[in-house]
Amino acid sequence: MNMENIKKYPEIKTAIILAGGSGRRMVSFSVLPDELKKQDFNPETMHKSMIPVGGKPLLEHTILWFKRWGIKKVVIGVGYQKGSIISYFKDGKQWDIEIIYAEHNPERGTADALKEDIEKSGINDNYFFVVNSDQLTSFPLEKLIEVCFSDENLPIATIGLVYPTFPFGKVECNLETHKVVNFQEKPIVKIPTSAGIYLFSKEIKSYLKDDLEKYTFPILVEKGKIKGCLYEGFWDTINTIKDWERINNQFKTYDK
């Protein structure tokens, strides 16, 4: 199913991708894996969302994912190393999707950055999607829409939720005898966590200050104007080269 089949809900045609951060955990070019060097990726001159996964920049996968769900316009919020993004995607005609750019201060919080992107791009849609630029997923956007409009209490924000992979080994230990009884390497933790995938109403602009998770979302919780939608399918993020190696190796296992 795609968004064209969701006739009873408002059409949502616009998405914003937050791609202005500096990606400080990326290593220098000198210690990159040879596979990345051969694909001309350089973290010293390119934004981390341009790291190739399965032969395409990570950000291109996100744009194609949006296109499959009926999105017609993508606003890319740029800042750090913006040239590597703009020179590659240009106006989006190659992908048959409209791409415009809004520059924000990459040193400010995510809410401040989003507010700048909304104002500078001039979008005035009643509803629009927002995502981070460092993730790869098959999250079905129709589910966010269904949850958003599931009852008369329409939220200002509907958040995609996932069960993340815990980055450390899980140890079960008898603390009296000190005997380890079980060890599990990097387990999936059954704690709903923000996926960095959001459906916002235009009212969100009044609540954008500092950081989404530190300021905006807690206020919306108090007002009862935020919902969550859990997805247990493919979702992962790339913040380090180790993340890239893991995701690049398993890339073909998710539903493209």
Give me the mean pLDDT over the 42-55 stretch.
Answer: 88
Mean pLDDT, residues 132-144 taken together: 94
Q: pLDDT-derived band of residue 183, with 50, 70 and 90 as boundaries?
A: confident
Residue 6 pLDDT exceeds 60: no
Residue 245 pLDDT > 70: yes
Using CA atoms, how far residue 126 sits from 7, 83, 123, 204, in Å, is 16, 30, 9, 10
Parent domain of 138: 10-253
Helix ranges (DSSP H) in 13-140: 34-38, 58-68, 82-89, 110-121
pLDDT value at position 78?
A: 95
Contacts of 144 (CB under 8 A, 6+ apart): 129, 158, 160, 197, 199, 229
d(CA 191, CA 179): 27
Instruction: Establish if 97 belongs to a structural domain.
Output: yes
Q: Is 235 helix (H, G, I), strand (E, B) or coil?
A: strand
Q: What is the pLDDT of residues 53-112, one digit of tens each?
A: 988 999 999 999 999 999 999 999 999 889 999 999 999 999 999 999 999 988 889 999
Residue 62, domain member (yes or no) = yes
- The answer to whether residues 92 and 74 touch, using CB atoms and an 8 Å cutoff, is yes
Rg (CA), the chain: 19
| pLDDT of 209 above 60 | yes
198 has a pLDDT exceeding 50: yes
**Banded pLDDT at 232 (limits 50, 70, 90):** very high
Whether 3 maps to a domain, the answer reads no
Give the total residue count for the chain. Answer: 256
Which residues, in sequence order, are CB contacts of 56 under 8 Å at separation 6+? 64
Supply the mean pLDDT for the chain.
88
- State how far the alpha carbon of 52 is from the alpha carbons of 35, 71, 74, 107, 143, in Å: 10, 23, 20, 25, 28
pLDDT at 29 over 60: no
Within a domain: residue 4? no
| CATH number of the domain bearing residue 142 | 3.90.550.10
Distance CA 79, CA 106 (A): 5
Q: Is there a domain that residue 132 lies in?
A: yes
Q: If pLDDT is split at 50, 70 and 90, which confidence band does 167 have?
A: low
Q: Report the C-alpha gap between 119 and 156 in whole angstroms.
A: 18
Query: How far apart, in whole angstroms, are the C-alpha atoms of residue 180 and residue 187?
Result: 17
Answer yes or no: is 55 within a domain.
Answer: yes
Mean pLDDT within 123-144: 95
Tally of domains in the chain:
1
Does a structural domain hold residue 116? yes
Residue 1 lies in a domain: no
| Whole-number percent of the chain with pLDDT over 70 | 89
Of the candidates 65, 149, 157, the one whose C-alpha atom is nearest the C-alpha of residue 110 is 157
Stronger pLDDT, 6 or 118, i.e. the higher one: 118
Q: What is the DSSP letter of 44?
A: T
pLDDT of residue 103: 94
Asked whether 133 and 49 are in contact (CB, 8 A), the reply is yes
Is-contact 113 1, C-beta < 8 A? no
1-5, 43-47, 243-247: which range is least confident on average?
1-5
pLDDT grade, residue 221 (50/70/90)?
very high
Q: Is the model's pLDDT at 143 over the cut of 70?
A: yes
* Cα-to-chain-centroid distance, residue 78: 14
Q: Give the Cβ contact number of residue 178 at 10 Å.
A: 7
Residue 255: predicted pLDDT: 44
